[in-house]
Amino acid sequence: MTIAENLPDAPPIGGIIEAALYARDLDAAAAFYGGVMGLKEVTRVEGRHIFFRVGRAILLIFNPDATVQGSSNPRLPVPAHGAHGPGHLCFAASREEIEQWRTRLQAAGYPIEADFDWPNGARSLYFRDPAGNSVEIAEPRLWFEA
């Protein structure tokens, strides 16, 4: 018997609202995600975090040294969290847009680590952000039917 067998049915989850990556140099992260990737900055707390809009989700970039301490604001009791070492994030784009991203990233000095088609035919492009996080741009059909 597993733990899940003793639980009530899980209610549906409608999607991901936010995802986090970690970077000590928030200015470099801002230059990359805001400048190179063209994401709109939503909010920033110097030395702690910078957040970007990605469609209907938010990309959180936290300084791991700051978030490991948790919130000092009693009205926002966010618990301590964080990660050390590279994380991973995948953005969605069409095959044609992926080619445009390849050109833009190379022009900005970001080497492409991998560019290939998965067995189901979806294309993925991998590169690193300034903090060493693995960033991917892939066709949505990698995981979802067209």
Question: Residue 57 sits in a domain of what CATH number?
Answer: 3.10.180.10
Does 91 share its domain with 53? no
What pLDDT band is residue 1 in, cutting at 50, 70 and 90?
low
Confidence at residue 79, expressed as pLDDT on a 0 to 100 scale: 85
Q: Let me know if residue 114 belongs to a domain.
A: yes
pLDDT digits (tens, 9 = 90+) for 50-96: 999 999 999 999 999 988 887 788 888 888 888 888 999 999 999 99
Q: CA dihedral defined by 57, 23, 25, 69, rounded to 10 degrees?
A: 100
91 shares its domain with 137: yes
Query: Is 20 inside a domain boundary?
Result: yes
Over residues 94-103, mean pLDDT: 97
Domain assignment of residue 47, yes or no: yes
Query: Does some domain include residue 56?
Result: yes
Does the pLDDT of residue 8 top 80, yes or no? yes
Tens-digit pLDDT profile for residues 9-58: 888 888 899 999 999 999 999 999 999 999 999 999 999 999 999 999 99
What is the extent of the structural domain holding 109?
86-146
Asked if residue 101 is part of any domain, the answer here is: yes
Instruction: Count up the domains in the chain and report the number.
Output: 2
138: pLDDT strictly greater than 90: yes
Determine the average pLDDT of the residues in 112-126: 97
pLDDT category at 146 given cuts 50, 70, 90 is low
**What is the spatial distance between Cα 123 and Cα 139, in angstroms, rounded to a whole number?**
6
The pLDDT of residue 73 is: 82
